Structure 1
Amino acid sequence: ELTIKGPIRMDDICTHQNLHTLRITFYGRSKPHIEKRAVDWDLSEKSPILCDLSLRYLIVDSPLCQRLLEHPHLKKLELAEADIKGNALRGFWEACRRLESLRLRRVKFNGLPMSIHQGAVLERIRNLVLEQWKTEWNSMFIAFHCPMLETLELNTLYFRVRISIHQPIQKDRWDVIRGLGYTFHLEPDSDDWDSKWATLIDAIGHCFGSITHFMHDKGKFGPRSTKALSFHFNTLVSLDTLGSNPDISSMIRAVLCSCPKLEYLQSGNIFARDIVQDEPWVCQSLQELAVSLRVGEMEQDLQPLIFERLSSLVRLKILSMYKPWDDNCDEGVLNFRLDCGLGQLVTLKELAFVAFPYSKPGTMVQRLEMEDVEWMMNNWKNLKGVDGVLNCMDSELDQDLYKMFRSHDICMHRNLKQVQDLVPYF
């Protein structure tokens, strides 16, 4: 793999006979400096196995870009922040015929001649990602020509969704989704978000197939949107409703009890009374759980039952409970103490990161002791990082607990790159 950020010299690329992945990035939209010789070499001869290409902020109709797109073994292409027009359109379309995976990030197509793509079939493309700040997707025409498409990912300001395609996409069906996208863009302050999300999810399922990944950053999930999403519970792999209202406990419980393929869940508060209900959790593949486990003052005796539920998540790598506090919620949190049931989590052999809540005046948070931390280090051998307040009642002890973790090479505070590598959910 080779990444170039700045001027391109021919020797940067031609000296790598085994080059598999090439990423070229320029900052801003100024015309990049490209060594003259760089447009004259035979890339298929100099880098014969190149198959993965990423071009960012590059002028697509430049001779260099055209040479790159002509590589006969190209299978995966990402274009970001580009305007494709003129002669570049034909080169881009011809490249698409050889691709298996295509990702377009804020790419515009201007003046696309119908003669170039009319009747064409991109039968090799299996994975398509379209990303726009607004939900306009002017690159949507590509989807109509991919009869073998398996996954489609749509990314906007307000949501990200990955879909497992059941049948070829028809233009009239795409127009339904595009129309909903305009609605989201034109009415960003609408109070009826529950209805909006339900309509979007229903339309995606009807038009395309099964949702496998869903994330939204705007508005509230409610009964209607939860019901719409429930038709995709059997295929759902990751769900992020962080942008929703914090008190969606019943939805979180429904997800944990109904999504056998779930690997990632990030959401709001889930209360003890919902966690301990009789219906079992079926998400045995869960690798990251990021929710606020809330326990009321009169529910302290439920903590062992909560730990029992968590102990079933044997593939869990990340357990995060330090979500932003809800000012309207006075309930405390699950206390990770041995005398509360912590010992039941001995089954979490793959756990690598734990984030405890930060303190808030007047609430019950963590009150860990030395014995609790010692137990974690002895039983969670893969633990790499810890964050949050460990003991809110004794600041000196809190610091001592942190020192104990550090003495065993367990880092304090979340290392985002490290954690994201553990569970690459999107």
Structure 2
Amino acid sequence: MDNLKLNPLQIPEILLLIAELLNKRDLLNCIRVSKAFHKTLISLIWKKITVGQVGEPGSKAIQKHNEYIEEITFDGYGFNDSFPEKYESLQRLQSITYKGWCSWPKPIHAINQIKAHSSIITSLCLNECIKFSCSSELWEALLECINLRHLEVYDKAIDVGADLFLQVCKRLDHLKLYEVSIQLPINFFSNEDSEYIFPNIRTLRISHVRITNPPHPYSKWYCLGMLVRNCRALRSLHIESWDEKDQSDYRAFLQHPWALNNLSDLWFRGMIIEDKDMAAILRRMTGLRQLGLPYAIFDQLSLQELLADKQEVMDNGQLVRKTRLLRLCETVETLVFHAVSGENSSIIQAILSNCPRLKTLEGSKTTVSEIVDGAEWVCAGLTHLDIYLEADIDQETEEGMAKARIAFKQLGKLTQLEYLSLTRCFLNPPSRTLDMRLRAGLDELANLKRLHTLSFLNVDQQRMQLEDTTWMPGMENKRHSHKASKAYH
């Protein structure tokens, strides 16, 4: 690095930074640029390979590049009774994924493949493998995988051998269960403090998980709450359930005394959570990076906790309020909540003016007046903004246009924006948003050099002229990349 004559594009560290922004097709083109490009990028191309429906690499290619292969996906692959011979010598292989209806002559052959790689495998994904049953033999094989840290199971029933499955979970850092039913062992409910603690799980994804025959008086959500609570090191939790029959019982999950303090990422998909319940969750969180609540009501109580300088913690068995090192609004990067959250349009304005690290915001309505009368926005790094910006002004008057220009100017300061949507389809009849006219302030968006989508619905309410419609796509010639400037319906 002390050699000032060295070409930056010959420095591997710089090439790797560039490669992070490229897809596989681009990488394949880049390795033809120079020897330096080829030497640095070839490992990224061969790090992950897919075998099956789309074909598979030849034996010579595998032998030549086997030192790079770390992840292999079998997609709809028909196995014989052993692992394909050319993949047996992959000494750096860490991750195996079976998906798309892979098949074996006998189920035991699939178990034997796992056992053959038990010393090196760190990640296993069972996705749509109809012949891959979750038997006791499977979990016993995974217990032999001493380095297994990542497990994903799709569309399976975990009943026989559920106790062994829970023992496997003790080693995991990441667990994802999708369309899975679990028959929890009876002692799970009586010995929850020791035998079924999962000390290493930091990331948990639960999607449409069913608890089979939970013992009275426990409900499905109470059981899931116990499972989550036992993940003592949990940092990221995603839960998805679209079953309307379950909605009335979700409080059994939220009110169960499971540790929320360490969470930084929390997503509830399909769950209709009230504002007071959401506020209770935020009250327990120490740090917040992502909060995804597409069907939760994020209103004044939740906003209050987002801005609060104190949190709720357990101290000697008592809940007390203690001062935060940083407020949640000072750490959050992603906020997604219900499109019709509350009637108070000040929620969005308060978020934009108090969350300096915010990158993504999908929320409810704000108004031009709120922006004009409110504080400056502090989220200069925002890249994705999807809200309903209502023009509660008369945009035909001089005063109204002056206010509209102030709103456009605030948007124009978000120079990192890549996606901007100013309308949502939930309002009926729809409210009118800003007129996309140069005389109203549209030209204030000229500095959004990264913007690729500007979206606004209900175009029949617009008062755009020819010069306005030609200005937006014309900006493509003034920026490095600007597409879909008129993405409206």
Output the TM-score relative to the length of structure 1: 0.69
**How far apart in 1 are the matches of 2:425 and 2:349?**
20
Residue number in structure 2 paired with 1:102: 175
Task: Please tell me the residue identity of whatever aligns with 2:148.
Answer: L
Hey, what does 1:364 align to over in structure 2?
462
Corresponding residue for 1:281? Answer: 377
CA contact (8 A) 1:127 1:149 kept: yes
Change (3 A) 1:63 1:319: same
- Is the 2:473–2:483 Cα contact (8 Å) retained in structure 1? no
Q: Is the 8 A contact 1:59 1:82 kept in 2?
A: yes
Are the structure 2 counterparts of residues 316 and 158 from structure 1 closer, same or farther at C-alpha, using a change threshold of 3 Å? farther
Count of equivalent residues: 357
Structure 1 residue 213 corresponds to structure 2 residue 287? no
8 Å contact from structure 2 (residues 436, 463) kept in 1:
no
Amino acid of the structure 1 residue aligned with 2:237: L
* Contact 1:219 1:244 (8 Å CA) reproduced: no
Offset, 1:318:
1.0
Matched-pair contact (CA < 8 Å) for 1:158–1:218: no
Q: Distance in 1 between matches of 2:86 and 2:198?
A: 30
Gaps of 5+ in 1: 160-168, 177-183, 391-426
CA distance in 2, matches of 1:113, 1:146: 19
Q: Hey, what's the Cα distance between the residues in 1 that align with 2:114 and 2:329?
A: 46
Q: Does 1:153 align with 2:241?
A: no
2:452 equivalent to 1:352: yes
User: What amino acid does structure 1 have at the position aligned with 2:87?
Assistant: T
Cα 1:297–1:348 shift into 2, 3 Å: same
Deviates more, 1:280-289 or 1:378-387: 378-387
Q: Which amino acid aligns with 2:125?
A: S
Matched, 1:234 2:330: yes
Q: What is the match of residue 9 of structure 2?
A: none
Equivalents in 2 of 1:257, 1:225: separation in Å? Answer: 16
Once the two structures are TM-superposed, the CA of residue 275 in structure 1 deviates from its matched residue by: 1.6
* Cα distance change, pair 153–25 in 1 and its aligned pair in 2 (3 A): same
Query: Which amino acid in the other structure matches residue 335 of structure 1?
Result: D
Match of 1:260 among 356, 360, 363: 356
Pick closer, same or farther for the CA change 1:208–1:7 going to 2, 3 Å: same
| Structure 2 letter corresponding to 1:23 | T
* Pick aligned residue for 2:441 from 333, 341, 352: 341
Conserved 8 A contact 1:78-1:102: yes
Amino acid at match of 1:364: Q
Structure 2, unaligned stretches of length 5 or more? 1-70, 211-219, 245-252, 261-267, 309-327
Q: TM-score, normalised by structure 2?
A: 0.61
Residue 163 of structure 2 corresponds to 89
Contact 2:436 2:462 in 1 (8 A): no
Change (3 A) 1:157 1:368: farther
Distance change >3 Å, CA 380–CA 215, structure 1 → 2: same
Partner of 1:376: 475
Secondary structure at 1:233's aligned position in 2?
helix
**1:280-359 map, 5 Å:** 280-295=376-391, 296-298=393-395, 299-324=400-425, 326-331=427-432, 333-359=433-459
Q: CA deviation at 1:317?
A: 1.4
Q: Which residue of 1 aligns with 2:42?
A: none
Q: Output one character per residue of 1:83-126: Cα deviation in whole Å (capped at 9) or x when no partner.
A: 22222431x22322322112223433214153897624433222
RCO higher in structure (CA 8 A, sep ≥6): 1
Comparing 65-74 with 261-270, which one deviates more in the overlay? 65-74
Do the aligned partners of residues 170 and 230 (structure 1) sit closer, same or farther apart at CA in structure 2, a change above 3 Å counting?
closer
Q: CA 1:219–1:49 in 2, change beyond 3 Å: closer, same or farther?
A: closer
Compute the displacement of 1:25 (Å): 3.5
Residue 51 of structure 1 is matched in structure 2 by 122
Name the CA shift for 1:197/1:139 in 2 (closer, same or farther; >3 Å).
closer
Separation (CA, whole Å) in 2 of partners of 1:345 and 1:48 = 56
Instruction: Tell me how far apart the structure 2 counterparts of residues 383 and 158 of structure 1 sit (CA, whole Å).
Output: 40
> Equivalent residue for 2:98?
24
Distance 2:353 2:452 in 1: 24
Conserved? CA contact 2:423–2:456, under 8 Å: yes
1:281 positional shift: 0.6
Give per-residue Cα distances to partners, 1:119-165, cap 9 Å, x unaligned.
Answer: 24433222223334797163443434333333333333399xxxxxx
Cα distance per residue 1:220-278 (max 9 Å; x no partner): 55434443444442333222234425855211111111112221111233211112224
Match of 1:173 among 243, 253, 257: 257
> In structure 2, how many angstroms separate the alpha carbons of the residues matched to 1:345 and 1:153?
35
Which deviations, in whole Å up to 9, do the C-alpha atoms of 1:314-351 show, x marking residues without a partner? 221111234216234553x2234443333333332322
Counterpart Cα distance in 1 of 2:485 and 2:463: 15
Pair 1:355–1:152, CA change in 2 (3 A) = same
Q: 2: distance between equivalents of 1:330 and 1:318?
A: 21
CA distance in 2, matches of 1:365, 1:34: 63
Q: 1:307 to 1:230 in 2, by over 3 A?
A: same
* Higher mean C-alpha deviation, range 143-152 or range 62-71: 62-71
Change in Cα spacing, 1:254 to 1:261, as seen in structure 2 (3 Å) is same
What SS does structure 1 have at the residue aligned with 2:194? coil
Q: 2:204, 2:109 → 1: CA distance?
A: 30
Q: Give me the whole-angstrom Cα distance separating, in 2, the residues matched to 1:15 and 1:42.
A: 11
Equivalent residue for 1:72?
146
CA contact (8 A) 2:408 2:442 kept: yes
Asked whether the equivalents of residues 134 and 156 of structure 2 are also in contact (C-alpha less than 8 Å), the reply is yes
Q: CA RMSD in A?
A: 3.9
Percent of paired sites with the same residue: 22
Matching residue of 1:271: 367
